[in-house]
Amino acid sequence: LPWTHESYETLDRGVNYAITLMQDLKNAWYSVLPSRMYELTMCTLVQALCHSMLGRVFADTKPICEDLVYMLAVRFEDTITEISTLFEEPIKFDIKVDVWSKFEKMPILLKAQMLEIADLWCRNKELSHSYACEEIRLIVKMRFPDDKYRLKILKEIQ
């Protein structure tokens, strides 16, 4: 499914619905389940949501317009904030949710300029632990026009 304003709205509605359901589950479960069970259960749901959102970004990597890129980045940032409200105590999501580091870096990558992405890839080893080289290249292809400069940057990302 190509990225359009309509497909973004579908994603946004789905994420809002998922967060609302998780808030409802928090209200029902928080005082009933033992804290470790609550944390494990909610982190499993968070993992599923994060995995789905990341999967949707990479489902169609044709070039998309800049306003949609920005809207996606903000949606990821908002989701990160909303997820943290599901827990009374701070949670180390990077330990509890397998794709958290990747999820947390997505808005940074979506907002970054082409040279910044290449620089992050070359200098930030943590990025290479979260993303495969080809995923970074796909983000560059989605975000930036096909020209000599993009080709040069894509060659640097290896």
Identify which of 45, 53, 124, 55 has the alpha carbon closest to the alpha carbon of residue 91: 45
- Whether residues 14 and 27 share a domain: the answer is yes
- Whether residues 71 and 147 share a domain: the answer is no
Residue 9 has what pLDDT? Answer: 97
Let me know: does 107 contact 50? Beta carbons within 8 Å.
no
- Whether residues 101 and 71 share a domain: the answer is yes
- Whether residues 146 and 157 share a domain: the answer is yes
Structural domain boundaries, residue 54: 1-111
- Whether residues 35 and 93 share a domain: the answer is yes
Backbone torsions φ then ψ of 80, nearest 5 degrees? -60, -45
- Whether residues 74 and 122 share a domain: the answer is no
Calculate helix-pair angle for 35-59, 66-84, nearest 10 degrees: 170
Q: In which residue are the tokens 């359901």 written?
A: 21
Tell me: pLDDT of 1 over 80: no
Which residues are CB-neighbours of 25 under 8 A, at least 6 positions away?
Answer: 41, 42, 45
- Whether residues 96 and 34 share a domain: the answer is yes
Residue 125 has what pLDDT? Answer: 80
Task: Quick: pLDDT tens for 72-120.
Answer: 999 999 999 999 999 999 999 999 999 999 999 999 999 999 999 999 9
